[in-house]
Every structure is written in C-alpha cells, then in structure tokens.
Structure 1
C-alpha cells in the first residue's frame, strides 16, 4: 500500500503559499537558490507583494510552484519515507521528478526556469487556457477542431483544459455555453501549454534534459507517473523524453489519478500551492482520503496525518 503525492500546477499561487515551508530549515537552501533564479527577489517576498499579473507570469509561476513542491517534500522529510506514488499536474510533473528523488531538487528548480524559458521563447502573445466542464469528449473534440484549439489536460468527470489563441478560446466558451456546459472559466496562464503550439518548446527542453544523469537516490521506492499516459516511469531517459513531450501533448490527469488507485494508494496528499488536486482526487475517488498541505496549520499536523495513512 502507498500514499499518492500530488504536485500542483500553476494557477493557485497566493500570498500564503509558503506559510508552512518558507521557514523550514530543511528547505532553506531551496529558497536561497530560487531567489537567484528570480533575479535576487526572495520568493517569499514575491508572493506577498507582487501584483496578480506578476505572480502569474509564466517563468515566475513555474519556479514558484516547483519550489513549493520540493520545499514541502524537504520540510516533511521522514514523513514521506514510506512507499509513495508521485504524480504532477503540468509543471507539477517536473516537480514530481524532484520529489520522487529522480532529480536533485536544486536541478529541478533550474529546469523549471529553463522549461518556462523554452515555452516563452516560442509562445505568442494572446494565448492561454480555458476550463470547460460538463460536455462529453466528442463535443469538446468538435469544438477544438472548429476553432483551432486543442485539449491540453483531461481531468475526471468531463472536465477539460483547452489551449489556444484567446479569441479562439472565447469562441469555444461561447459555443460551450450554448451547449449547456456546467462551468467555463479562463485560467490565469499566459501560454497554450500542452498543445501542439509548443512543439518547438518540447524539442528545446528535450535537448536540455538529454544531458542529465540519475541522482544517487534514483533507487527510491517512490513510483513516478508520466503525465501524458499515466504510466510509471521505469527508464530514466524514456521518462525524460515524455517529460519534454508533455509541454506540447495532452496531459491525461484522470488517468494519473486512476493509476494512483491502481498502485494501491490509500490516501492522496497534495503539496500545493492550493488544494485543487486533492479536491479533484476526492471527487473522482471518494473512498480514498485526500488532503492538501494547505489544509493543515503545521508541518507536524500534516506529517501526523500522512503517518496515520501509512499505518491504516
């Protein structure tokens, strides 16, 4: 039996996101390193003082979200020493490589910056993502084909993230509303992630990844899942190829959650920022307890909850 660790994507950055990790001694070096990547700006100060627009800027957002995941894993320490299955949502998949021990956490932060830079280099202004819930897959496929957009992420229960030009997404939203979609929400993301529009970014990031070698901790008992198919990463290089491809291919998040269940996860625990993934997991698999780090007032409380789930 295992605990599923979920690494969050962009979109839920907020002033209190480092409340439990920002002062953790085990994560201090990670915040110092991230400060360098952010031009000398302390990430704990950024989230407290930056405008919403700056907080959601692609490169800043990817570094902040990756930092939260690897800092949380460092701060929780031995609480995560049991058998784990680790999955990450969008940029969270890169963080999952650090959390699972496949990559060094400092290297993971460097790669978050390089990933964002590769994406920004090929993105055009006026692109983004749209959330649509309540329409079946054939209808979503038809909307995408009609308006030149693409499915970026497949979530459980007929929930989809669609990427493309903003004017095309507005047309998708209008038509989806007419077809009685239950929820339609533009997302605070500046690029059309996980769509073919970013194929050149996948290629560029793939070149960066090819020079990597496994860390000494690669024999960790954590099972790491690939976002584009929900399958476990068994071979380091093959997994990195999928990680690069994920930038421009659909993320099958519903399959990742199902794979956690099939790997006998007895609980879901989201590292944050936010609690979107834990709530999604709870809705999709109501028989399995799901919490986020942000549900707790202390690292000790979170560690105790995880320990109880390992013991159940």
Structure 2
C-alpha cells in the first residue's frame, strides 16, 4: 500500500482550523514556531482574528502551512513511512517540503512569511482568485485573455482557478456563466497567485529560498512544477520560486500519484477540497481528509487500518 499526504492551499481556513490539534504535544513545536509571525497561538488566532485578517494573504498562508505541519507531526510523531509521497497545492507545497524534512518547521514558516511578503509587494491591492467549473480549457483561456486574467491552477473535472484584479475576475466570472459554466465566482484569496501578475515576486522569493539550508527529503516529495519527485532540493528551488508566476497543473499531480501506485490519500487540511478532487481522479484509492474525522484517534485508526505495518510510526 502506498500513502500520499496532500497539503492544502489557503482559502479554507476557519475558526476551527486547529481544533483537532490544539492539545497534541507533538504539534506544540509547530504552534510555537507559528506564534511569532501570527502574534499569538495559531489556534487562538483562528478563533479571534477578524475575518478579513484570517483570510489575508500573509496570515492565510501561515495558518494553512502551520496546520499541515502540525497535522503531520501529530499523526506521525516518529515520521511518516519513508515511501510516503507528500505533495502540496499552491502554498501547500511549502508545507510539503517541510513535512518531507527539507526544512525545519521554523525555517518553513519563515520562508512562508517571506513568500507572502514578496507576493504582497508584487501584486496589486485589489488582486484576487476566482474559480470556474464546466468549461473547456480553451474557453477559459480565451475569456481570461479577454478580461486581462490568467489561469492560475488547472484542476481535474474542468475546474480552473483564475487570477486577476477584483473587477477583472468578477467580469470573467459573469462571462463564464454566460458561456455555460456550471459555476463561477470569487474566492477568499486576496492575491493573484500563479499568474504573471506576480512576476516581481519570483526573484525575491528565490533569494529567500537560497539563504536557507535545504536537506535531502526524507519522504518522496512531489513538486507541482512538472509533477515530478524532488531528489535534489537545490536543483528544484528555482522552479519552486517560479511557480509564483506560473500556472500550476494540479490535475497532472493527481495523475502522477495514480501512476506511482498510490492507494491511500489523506488531505491534511484545512478543508477537504483536495480530497474531493483526489477521490474523483483516483476512484480506486481510499481517500479521506483529516477534517472528516472527529478526533485524531479516528484518523490514526483509519491510517493503520489501510496501511497496516507501513504506519508503524503513526502515533497512538
């Protein structure tokens, strides 16, 4: 049996993002590392921050990466099985690199903050992402060009994420619905990630990445840039930085997981958007999201049931 851990992007964080993890001793070092940039314990931050702050680009990225790091630490206190594949969606890839052991949790969160800062400086104050489902890619590309937007992420099931200014993405969504889209609308992400609007963020982020020592991954780390496994992080850093201004093909990542024989998938959250996509793309795999469970004990039992001896490191 082969396990894949999926690290979510921002947009699904909410008041209960850390509820399952708040009392887990193994997660405490991640909470401590996230407290400095957030100004308070991440669980408290999610409970009390104004809605706009909770979904701000910097804070949203920190919360989502801290959630994935904390979830992995709590589920696998002795480390996940080495054959585990870990992949991340948008900023979730930063969490994936951290979970794979390329960076420490503290360094991972430092880099996430620098990533967000570079994005905020390069992007416009009214930038945002939107989603559209049900149109062919050619149609989405044509409409995006018409409204000065760009495809940010290609998902399976004709689901696309598009970035641009707020006015441009709203006009795009209206035109997409007129063109027959099943649905289209804005997302709670205030930055045009993975579009040329963030070209100015690539070099500063690349500089930040180069300044932090990177270890060889202890797990099988898959990058969304080409849906390939990272064996030499130093050779993959340029691609990780370039992703800020380039389209991500998440559908290709899921195809690569299927080709590598993944049979069990757990989305670390927040949310279950990646689990839903994975379940549709890999219909024979066992797919769950951590947010499906009412307790970590339930998630651990599910992992042990589906992976047996491969999960010897799963916490009791």
Q: What is the TM-score with the length of structure 2 in the denominator?
A: 0.94
Alignment partner of 1:246 is 2:243: yes
2:227 aligned counterpart, secondary structure = coil
> Matched residues in 2 for 1:145 and 1:214: separation?
38
Work out whether residues 263 and 286 of structure 2, in 8 Å CA contact, stay in contact via their aligned partners in 1. yes
Tell me the secondary structure at the aligned position of residue 232 of structure 1: strand
In 2, Cα distance between equivalents of 1:204 and 1:219: 24
Match of 2:304?
307
Report if the CA contact (8 A) 1:2-1:82 is conserved: no
Q: 2:72 — aligned with what?
A: 73
Preserved contact between residue 100 and residue 217 of structure 2 (Cα < 8 Å): no
State the Cα distance separating 1:186 from its structure 2 match.
0.5
Say if 1:93 and 1:219 are closer, same or farther in 2 by CA, change over 3 A. closer
- The equivalent of 1:266 in structure 2 is 263
Extract unaligned runs of 5+ from structure 2.
310-316
**1:12-91 equivalences in 2 (<5 Å):** 12-38=12-38, 40-77=39-76, 78=78, 80-91=80-91
CA RMSD in angstroms, aligned pairs only:
1.4
CA contact (8 A) 2:170 2:185 kept: no
User: What SS is found at the alignment partner of 1:191?
Assistant: coil
Residue of structure 2 equivalent to 1:293? 290
Residues 79 and 307 in structure 1, CA contact (< 8 A), matched pair in contact too: no
Which whole-Å CA distance do the structure 2 matches of 1:272 and 1:261 have between them? Answer: 21
Q: CA deviation at 1:82?
A: 4.9
- Please state how far the C-alpha of 1:57 moved relative to its aligned partner: 0.7
1:59/1:116 contact within 8 Å kept: yes
Give runs of aligned pairs for residues 114-263 of structure 1, distance below 5 A.
Answer: 114-215=114-215, 218=216, 220=218, 222-263=219-260
Give 1:298 shift: 1.9
Secondary structure of residue in 2 paired with 1:199: helix
How far 1:98 sits from its partner (Å)?
0.6
Q: Partners in 1 of 2:133 and 2:163 — Cα distance? A: 14
CA distance in 1, matches of 2:36, 2:79: 29
Indicate conservation of the 8 Å contact 2:30/2:106, yes or no. Answer: yes
Which digits, 9 at most, give the CA deviation of each residue in 1:158-216, with x for residues without a partner? Answer: 1100001111112211111111100112100111000011011111100111123233x
Give the Cα–Cα distance (whole angstroms) in 1 for the partners of residues 221 and 171 of structure 2.
37
Aligned length: 308
How big is the shift at 1:80?
Answer: 2.3
Instruction: Structure 1: give runs of 5+ residues left out of the alignment.
Output: none
Choose which of 264, 272, 275 in structure 1 pairs with 2:272.
275
- Once the two structures are TM-superposed, the CA of residue 51 in structure 1 deviates from its matched residue by 2.1
Cα pair 1:70 1:98 within 8 Å, conserved: yes
- For the residues of structure 2 that align with 1:274 and 1:117, how far apart are their CA atoms? 24
